[in-house]
Amino acid sequence: MLRNVPIFVSSVFLLCAALPALSFANAPTEIRLWHAMSGPRGDELERLAARFNASQAEYRVAPRYKGTEEQTLALALGSRRSIWGPHIVQAYEAGTADLMAQEHAVRPLWEVMAEARQPLDPNYFPAVAGAFSDAQGRLLALPFNIATPVLYYNRAAFSKAKLDAGNPPRTWYEMPAVLGALVDSGSACAFTSAWQSWILLENMSAWHNEEFATGHNGMDGGGTRLAFNRGLMVRWISMLSSWMKAGYFSYSGRENEGEARFASGECAMLTSSSASYAQLLGRAKFDVGVAQLPYYDDFSAAPQNTLVGGSGLWVIAGRTKQEYRGVARFLAYLAQADVQAQWHQKTGYLPLTAAAYELGRTQGFYAANPGQEIAVRQLMGKSPTRDTMGIRLAQFQRIRGIIDEELEWVWVGKKTPLDALNTAVERGNLLLSR
Question: pLDDT, tens digit, for every residue of 184-211?
Answer: 999 999 999 999 999 999 999 999 999 9
Domain presence at residue 16: no
Residues 334 and 219 in one domain: no
Domain presence at residue 14: no
Domain presence at residue 273: yes
DSSP codes joined into one string, 198-237: IIIIIIHHHHTT--SBHHHHTTT-SS--B---SHHHHHHH
Residues 143 and 269 in one domain: no
Domain presence at residue 12: no
Residues 295 and 313 in one domain: no
Residues 40 and 100 in one domain: yes
Q: How far apart are the C-alpha atoms of 146 and 275, rounded to whole Å?
A: 8
Residues 314 and 257 in one domain: no
The percent helix, strand, coil of the chain (3-state, each to 5) is 50, 15, 35
Residues 155 and 139 in one domain: no
Residues 92 and 228 in one domain: no
Q: If pLDDT is split at 50, 70 and 90, which confidence band does 25 have?
A: low
Domain presence at residue 92: yes
Domain presence at residue 299: yes
The range of the structural domain enclosing residue 232 comes to 149-306+395-433
Residues 192 and 250 in one domain: yes
Lowest mean pLDDT among 54-58, 109-113, 121-125: 121-125
Indicate the number of domains in the chain: 2
Question: pLDDT, tens digit, for every residue of 382-429?
Answer: 999 999 999 999 999 999 999 999 999 999 999 999 999 999 999 999
Domain CATH code at residue 116: 3.40.190.10
Domain presence at residue 183: yes
Residues 413 and 302 in one domain: yes
What pTM was computed for the model? 0.90
Residues 252 and 352 in one domain: no
Is the pLDDT at 329 greater than 60? The verdict is: yes
Of 320, 347, 367, the residue that ends a domain is 367
Over the Cα atoms of the chain, what is R_g? 25
Residues 167 and 61 in one domain: no
Residues 157 and 265 in one domain: yes
Domain presence at residue 32: yes
Is the pLDDT at 15 greater than 50? The verdict is: no
